[in-house]
Amino acid sequence: MALTDTLKALASDTEQVVIAAYRSYLEGLIDRDDTVALIAQAIAEANGRARSLADMAVAAQVMIELQEPVPVSGVEYPNDVPRLQKAADTVLTVAEGSEVPEAIIGRLARSEPLEAAASTYSDAMVRSGVTKGWVRQKSASACQLCEWWWRSGRVWPAEHPFQHHKGCTCTPKVVLKKGIKETGYTRRLRNEQAMEAINNYARRNR
């Protein structure tokens, strides 16, 4: 199964778990605090799986290109639970005054794993040390914004963040060739890194 399909399935499963928790809350089976905790934990676990999938996907793509074993980058995963507890509490409040509460609850559960995967994929590409860039792989449901980001198959530098929106299921594909044109973002990043190196050198030699 392709990474996009796997992430879609993960997002859908997480949405169903979270909506089930919300329905239990409405039926009085669990209180608000437990609902917030359940939603946050379910999404945090999904985010962890999404990050692992993205990390392995980068290693697999590089391995195919190089025709040699490549380890996963080992991107560090943040503790999402405190942030997600706040998000879940806010979403419950918004849902209470909405005509489509399950859609609001479900959107948080769907979008979080997809965003976690996209962010991790970008980090893993940079950490790999051999990835020079990426090209956008459009999903079958790519919207007009995704089409614009695709830029007719433009190859972006590895350090340029992968552009995505809420619920986006497009994924990057690694590119190993050199000579990829810089963007304004990567140029600023390179300049900042150079200045930091100069400042560190100056501090060490005072």
State pLDDT tens for residues 134-166: 899 888 888 899 999 998 889 998 888 888 888
pLDDT tens-place string over residues 47-90 = 999 999 999 998 988 888 888 888 887 777 788 999 999 999 99
What angle do the packed helices 101-128 and 3-26 form, to 10 degrees?
140
Q: Which residue has the higher pLDDT, 43 or 171?
A: 43
Determine the 3-state secondary structure of 174 from DSSP: strand
Highest-confidence range of 44-58, 123-137, 161-175, by mean pLDDT? 44-58
Domain interval for residue 72: 3-204
Q: What is the pLDDT of residue 1?
A: 57
The domain tally of the chain equals 1
Report how many helices (DSSP H) and strands (DSSP E) the chain contains, helices first.
6, 3
Following DSSP, what letter does each residue of 36-93 receive, concatenated? HHHHHHHHHHHHHHHHHHHHHHHHHHHHHHHTS------PPPP--HHHHHHHHHHHHH
Percent of the chain with pLDDT over 70: 99
